[in-house]
């Protein structure tokens, strides 16, 4: 069977399905080729189920602190298996939601692994599908272990997020290698479900891509909760036995042995570029007017669903001959949904220094915010980096409850080139966590009110 479409999208993850919907909206006949479930890593084994598990963890935390708020919930029992089952239902609902969106927008979904062929064709099994306008590559990425030190993912004692999301019960002890967003979030989840967590990061601080102040705040918070945090650590060797793993970790000039029930590899992802016929099609070169473009993780970092979604829209509009708003890659928010949450946009303070920018940092701690005090979410702060001369918002960093929601005020501001003054001039409802943003903006101008 051979069929023709205007646009064929290889991969039905967030970048691919959003591109498909936009393509259909623009009147192009569209097909998505997906070998697994629609929604990709994000919906099925990434963003969405982890957010469900993180909320279970958050409820456990709230209940443990509830007595202080006048609510005695008795002794709190947790069951990772039940939380996991719930997270699966959430994922399935979301995947079905994407399926529904495909139907609603009349996008053809082809099940199977697509292989590119010269001439804008994609082979799925024995069928060949041809794109009249373009084939979009959105094949995404996957976890990869560190086999070189004996830590090949064996799915029992050495696992990745793929397995962690399907565990029936939380392990007694867990070493997490990599303290980026994935490692931080699983540390939060398993710690709340009673696991003794050790978090190991090779770079000098956890959340190495975030502002140093955010890293420090989280390290402090995690340690307080009993999560062991080892940064600047090198895992020299891993020995995996039937029901335990022994790690040799070098940190602060000393080597120590860590015995753990399981190891979660949360470092590094590999892009899915094998076996999809890239070499055969000479994908790097545009041949005879073919537009073969990549979006999402496979197109490069930051590997974030929302970056891929925007690329999906932009690329499809380009294919349709429109002039889309250019993507500002320096304006992609970054969020880690651990507790407290970490959200940022733009430059870190260290990056401002490296670039020799003249800046003023404005800060406001949630401990001085009325709403945060009321809800007991006084950890964290808002930090706004203001260009000294023109007031441009060079970067913004939030650690605290709901940071993932609060950051967008600054994303809108930066996208539209508002300066700190415009942010401050917007009237912020009182009492809200968002007031801390306005106060940090004011602080950068040297006229903070509430502190």
Partner 1 sequence: MEALSPTMEEGRVVKWHKREGDAVKAGDTLAEVETDKAVMDLVARADGVLRQVAVAEGQTVPVGSVVAVIAVPGEAGGGQTAPASAPVPAVKGEGGQARPAPARSPAPAAAVVAADATRVKASPLAKRIATETGVDLKLVTGSGPGGRVVKRDLEEAGRREKGEVRGAAAPPAVPPQAPLPSPISPALRGGAPYEDVPLTQIRKTIAKRLATSLGPIPHFFLTSEVDMERAAEARDALNRQLGDRGKVSFNDVIIKATALALTKHRACNAWFQDDHIRYWNDVHIGMAVAVDDGLITPVIRDADRKALLDIGREARELAEKARSRRLQPNDYTGSTFSVSNLGMFDIDQFTAVINPPEAGIIAVGAITSKPVVADGQIVPRRRMRITMSCDHRVIDGATGAAYLKTLKEMLENPLAMLL
Catalytic sites, residue numbers? 430
- Angle, vertex CA 10, rays to CA 178 and CA 28, nearest 5: 135
Whole-angstrom Cα distance, residue 314 to residue 264? 35
Whole-angstrom Cα distance, residue 363 to residue 182? 27
State the minimum distance, in angstroms, from the CB of residue 326 to partner 1: 8
Return contacts of 287-294, CB within 8 angstroms, 24+ apart.
287/118, 290/119, 290/120, 290/134, 290/135, 291/133, 291/134, 291/318, 291/319, 292/116, 292/120, 292/134, 292/135, 292/136, 292/137, 293/134, 293/136, 293/137, 293/318, 293/319, 294/136, 294/137, 294/138
**What is the bridge-based pairing of β-strands 108-111 and 114-117?**
unpaired
State the minimum distance, in angstroms, from the CB of residue 313 to partner 1: 15
User: Which residues have a Cβ under 8 Å from the Cβ of 74 and sit 6 or more positions away?
Assistant: none
State the minimum distance, in angstroms, from the CB of residue 319 to partner 1: 19
State the minimum distance, in angstroms, from the CB of residue 261 to partner 1: 53
Which residue, 212, 148, 159, is CA-closest to 344? 212
State the minimum distance, in angstroms, from the CB of residue 441 to partner 1: 13
State the minimum distance, in angstroms, from the CB of residue 446 to partner 1: 16
User: Which residues have a Cβ under 8 Å from the Cβ of 438 and sit 6 or more positions away?
Assistant: 423, 424, 426, 428
Query: Given the complex with partner 1, which of 33 and 413 has the nearer CB atom?
Result: 413
User: Which residues have a Cβ under 8 Å from the Cβ of 385 and sit 6 or more positions away?
Assistant: 346, 347, 349, 352, 359, 360, 361, 362, 393, 394, 395, 396, 397, 444
State the minimum distance, in angstroms, from the CB of residue 419 to partner 1: 5
Whether cis (ω within 30° of 0) applies to the bond prior to 23 is no
Whole-angstrom Cα distance, residue 15 to residue 39? 9
State the minimum distance, in angstroms, from the CB of residue 393 to partner 1: 9
Whole-angstrom Cα distance, residue 387 to residue 379? 27
Which residue, 222, 224, 240, 226, is CA-closest to 179? 222
Query: Given the complex with partner 1, which of 336 and 444 has the nearer CB atom?
Result: 444
Where do contacts with partner 1 occur on this chain (CB under 8 A)?
A: 325, 389-392, 416-419, 421-422
């Amino acid at each position: 069977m051979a069929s023709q479409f205007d646009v064929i999208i290889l991969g039905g993850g967030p970048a691919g399905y959003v591109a498909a919907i936009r393509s259909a909206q623009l009147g192009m006949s569209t097909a998505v080729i997906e070998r697994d479930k629609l929604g990709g890593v994000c919906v099925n084994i990434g963003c969405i189920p982890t957010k469900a598990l993180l909320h279970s963890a958050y409820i456990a935390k709230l209940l443990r602190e509830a007595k202080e708020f006048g609510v005695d919930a008795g002794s709190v029992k947790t069951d990772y298996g039940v939380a996991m089952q719930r997270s699966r239902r959430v994922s399935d609902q979301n995947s079905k939601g994407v399926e529904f969106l495909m139907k609603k927008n009349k996008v053809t979904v082809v099940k199977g692994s697509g292989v590119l062929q010269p001439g804008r064709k994609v082979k799925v099994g024995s069928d060949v599908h041809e794109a009249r306008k373009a084939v979009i590559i959105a094949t995404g990425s996957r976890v990869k272990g560190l086999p070189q030190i004996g830590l090949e993912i064996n799915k029992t004692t050495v696992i990745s997020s793929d397995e962690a999301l399907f565990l029936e019960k939380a392990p007694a002890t867990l070493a997490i290698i990599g303290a980026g967003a994935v490692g931080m979030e699983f540390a939060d989840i398993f710690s709340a479900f009673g696991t003794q967590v050790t978090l190991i990061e090779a770079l000098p601080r956890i959340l190495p891509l975030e502002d140093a102040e955010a890293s420090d705040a989280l390290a402090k918070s995690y340690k307080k909760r009993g999560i062991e945090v080892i940064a600047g650590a090198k895992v020299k060797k891993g020995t995996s036995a039937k029901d335990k793993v022994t790690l040799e970790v070098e940190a602060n000039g000393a080597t120590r042995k860590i015995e753990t029930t399981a190891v979660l590899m949360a470092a590094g992802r590999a892009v899915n570029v094998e076996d999809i016929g890239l070499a055969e099609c000479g994908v790097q070169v545009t041949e005879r007017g073919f537009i073969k473009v990549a979006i999402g993780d496979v197109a490069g970092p930051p590997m974030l669903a929302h970056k891929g979604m925007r690329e999906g829209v932009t690329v499809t509009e380009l294919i349709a001959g429109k002039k889309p708003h250019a993507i500002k890659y320096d304006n992609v928010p970054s969020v880690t949904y651990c507790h407290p949450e970490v959200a940022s946009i733009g430059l870190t303070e260290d990056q401002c220094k490296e670039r020799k920018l003249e800046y003023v940092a404005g800060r406001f701690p949630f401990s001085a915010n009325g709403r945060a005090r009321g809800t007991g979410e006084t950890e964290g702060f808002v930090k706004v980096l203001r260009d000294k001369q023109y007031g441009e918002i060079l970067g913004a960093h939030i650690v605290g409850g709901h940071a993932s929601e609060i950051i967008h005020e600054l994303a809108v501001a930066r996208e539209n080139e508002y300066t700190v003054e415009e942010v401050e001039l917007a009237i912020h409802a009182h009492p809200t966590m968002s007031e801390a943003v306005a106060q940090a903006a004011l602080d950068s101008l040297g006229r903070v009110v509430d502190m």
